[in-house]
Amino acid sequence: MIDLRSDTCSRPTDAMRKAIAAAPVGDDVYGDDPSVKELEREVADLLGKDDAVYMVTGTMTNQVGIRAHTESGDSVLFDQNAHVYILEGGAPAAFSGVLPRLLPGVRGIFTPENVSQALGVSHRFFPSTIPSPIKLLCLENTHNIGGGKVWPLDQLKAVCDLGRANGLALHLDGARLWHATAATGIPEREYAKHFDSVSVCFSKALGAPMGSALAGNREFIARARRFKQQIGGGFRQAGMMAAGALYALRHNRERLQEDHIHAKMLANGIADLPGIALDVSTVETNIVRFGITSLAAGEFVEKLYERGLYALPSGPDGVRMIPYLNITPQQIKDAIDIIASVANDHKAKASAVSVAPRTSSAAGY
Ligand SMILES: Cc1ncc(COP(=O)(O)O)c(C=O)c1O
């Protein structure tokens, strides 16, 4: 099987497994794990922050971040297709008790005007006690449902400056911040400096078996450690896993451009097939999203699966595929052939009307 469902399917290499086996460990809940400490220091330095805390998943780092910035009843500004809002099990409501206020981003990118609109205007005739106070603004770079879209740095800065001027805290879901850097050459810390907290993942494309980190200033990270523990995130000899993350950071980031090339190869190879709606120019990083008009997306991915290719359905007519560390150029060529064979078998049902290329789906992962 060629598995292009997600870059979270990336697997540890032999060298990473050796680093994991050799990792010095201690009890992380007591602050004693040397490998965890080394990872946290390295992430904090990379992102230009005081401190960082290692956790089990990107969901946990994002949601602990939201919890540490807010109190129950506060409002948070999210892009309408943000992972933190749609794809994290309802945690903003369940864990932090916050109200989402949605911004009309296009492929995850919104404008300062969108933020201003959501903030509204204050007036002495309208008591500030009436609405829920907006405390936090969240961005996602690159944007998953937005098809791996990279935030333009100027726009990111303008949005963050506006948020800050209005007293908001700023959180970045940087699960794939490495990919933004690989695509633009802009160092991670140049993006990170506009935020109070940044979540990054080692489990996406880099081959680490698990784990994410949340970075910020010392006081914020101390508060975040409390909420990590509260939701059962104290994972003792976590250095075994942190060693994989360290290896991933040091050795597997610089190769991410290969994944971007593979994503483009895949997109170019399938864009003209019958029933596929894909604008190749939307593929900026490692995520390929497209629309399918000949079959329901669920049926289409079943047919691909029968022929040896795993893909992810995304809503009724969207499909997502992502190359990563263990995917070879030959596998991309084979994937193109499999997609072509299914698309050609069903071309009679392909819509003659061209549909807008799909880059997002509210129901899609
Ligand atoms: C943008 C984004 N943020 C956060 C996450 C959550 O990461 P995890 O699966 O480690 O919880 C994902 C997962 O794919 C993601 O794509």
DSSP string, 155-224: HHHHHHHHHHHTT-EEEEEETTHHHHHHHH---HHHHHTT-SEEEEESSSSS--SS-EEEEE-HHHHHHH
Most ligand 1 atoms within 8 A of CB, residue of 63, 78, 83 to mutate: 83
Confidence of residue 351 (pLDDT cuts 50, 70, 90): confident
**Which ligand 1 atom lies nearest to the CA of residue 142?**
1
Query: Would you say residue 363 has pLDDT above 90?
Result: no
- Both tokens of 269, joined, read 């190879």
The string of DSSP letters for 35-53 reads: HHHHHHHHHHHHHT-SEEE
Residue nearest to atom 16 of ligand 1 (CA): 144
Query: Would you say residue 357 has pLDDT above 60?
Result: no
Confidence of residue 352 (pLDDT cuts 50, 70, 90): low
Q: For residue 208, count other CB atoms closer than 10 A to its CB.
A: 28
12 close to 209: Cβ distance less than 8 angstroms: yes
Q: How far is it, in rounded angstroms, from Cα 170 to Cα 131? A: 20
| Domains, the chain, with CATH or none | 12-251 (3.40.640.10), 256-349 (3.90.1150.10)
Query: Would you say residue 354 has pLDDT above 80?
Result: no
Q: What is the pLDDT of residues 206-253, one digit of tens each?
A: 999 999 999 999 999 999 999 999 999 999 999 999 999 999 999 999
Span of 122-136, 231-245, 268-282 with lowest mean pLDDT: 122-136
Query: Would you say residue 353 has pLDDT above 60?
Result: no
Query: Would you say residue 162 has pLDDT above 90?
Result: yes
User: Measured from the CB, is residue 171 less than 6 Å from ligand 1?
Assistant: no
On the 0-12 / 13-18 / 19+ scale of CB atoms within 10 A, 287 is buried
Query: Would you say residue 78 has pLDDT above 70?
Result: yes
Three-state SS for 2? strand
75 close to 99: Cβ distance less than 8 angstroms: yes
Q: For residue 174, count other CB atoms closer than 10 A to its CB.
A: 31
pLDDT at residue 362, rounded to an integer: 46
